[in-house]
């Protein structure tokens, strides 16, 4: 029985430990290995096996084999850990934005609900700005790309957002004027807040994609979540990012 994964140096190590001549051909070395390991597997020579174990031959051979393979294991650097923490923050912020947008879209647009709409829109603005901060910190192209597309979509709707009291700054962050919102037309709100193709509908989709990109990077590209009908990302089957970050503490 030949042992796979062993090179000539490994055979020489084993030969010197078992008394075989290093000058013999590889077939003789293989035969020596086959005999020694074969007896261990078959159990036909318990005393011989015990002698080899006691002499340390097996241990030295295994150390030589696994030591070579262990050298190829990737070391997680401090930079890697820092990036994963940033990705986790971006994922959390994008998920919070998605939740606040979904809540806003779920409110019936009427004069009676203006106060609720105001508070929900205020939450959207705050979470949007958090995403701008956290996404800009990561060094992952997919996250940065999705965040860029989000800001571009917002800039394209700057005029109508202004009518709702939401202004886009030079740093791509939003500011909210509550007084101006109280004077906004309900028809403008309906246009911006209702339906998957509205501004908020597209923002829900984009925030999910940012969260997905961050999650996918955290899980090494093995993200198995899916998008639902409203553009929100379902992460039920993805790894728990909190548990990943906890391993660094």
Q: Classify residue 59 by burial, with Cβ atoms within 10 Å: 0-12, 13-18, 19+.
A: exposed
Cα separations in angstroms, 161 against 49, 84, 158, 233:
80, 34, 5, 25
What was the pLDDT predicted at 91?
A: 96
Element (H, E) at 205: helix 199-218
d(C-alpha 99, C-alpha 103), whole Å: 6
For 26, 88, 133, 134, 249, the CA distances from 246, given in Å and listed in that order, are 50, 11, 22, 19, 5
- Per-residue confidence (pLDDT) for residue 51, from 0 to 100: 65
Under-70 pLDDT residues of the chain? 1-74, 221-249
The model's pTM: 0.62
Residues contacting residue 220 through CB under 8 Å, at least 6 positions apart: none
Give the pLDDT score at 78: 83
Condensed to tens digits (0 to 9), the pLDDT of residues 9-64 reads 444 433 433 344 444 444 444 444 444 444 444 444 566 666 666 666 666 666 66
Give the 3-state secondary structure percentages of the chain, helix then strand then coil, rounded to 5.
Answer: 65, 5, 30
pLDDT of residue 121: 98
**How much is the pLDDT for 76?**
73
For the chain, the domains span: 8-70, 78-246
Q: According to the model, what pLDDT value does residue 168 have?
A: 96
């Amino acid at each position: 029985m030949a042992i796979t994964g062993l090179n000539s140096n490994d055979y020489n190590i084993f030969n010197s430990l078992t008394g075989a001549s290093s000058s013999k051909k590889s077939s003789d070395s293989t035969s020596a290995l086959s005999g020694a390991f074969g007896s261990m597997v078959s159990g036909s020579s318990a005393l011989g096996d015990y002698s080899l174990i006691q002499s340390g031959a097996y241990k030295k051979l295994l150390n030589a084999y696994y030591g070579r393979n262990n050298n190829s294991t990737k070391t997680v650097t401090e930079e890697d850990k820092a990036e994963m923490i940033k990705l986790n923050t971006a994922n959390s912020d994008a998920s919070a934005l998605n939740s606040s947008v979904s809540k806003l879209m779920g409110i019936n647009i009427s004069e009676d609900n203006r106060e609720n709409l105001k508070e929900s829109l205020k939450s959207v603005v705050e979470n949007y700005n958090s995403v701008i901060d956290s996404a800009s910190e990561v060094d992952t192209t997919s996250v940065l790309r999705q965040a860029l597309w989000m800001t571009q979509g917002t800039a394209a709707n700057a005029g109508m957002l202004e009518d709702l009291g939401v202004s886009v700054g030079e740093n791509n962050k939003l500011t909210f004027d509550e007084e101006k919102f109280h004077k906004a037309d309900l028809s403008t709100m309906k246009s911006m807040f209702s339906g998957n193709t509205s501004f908020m509908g597209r923002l829900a989709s984009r925030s999910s994609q940012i969260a997905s990109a961050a999650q996918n990077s955290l899980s090494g590209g093995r993200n198995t979540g899916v998008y639902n009908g409203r553009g929100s990302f379902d992460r039920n089957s993805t790894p728990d990012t909190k548990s990943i970050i906890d391993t660094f503490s």
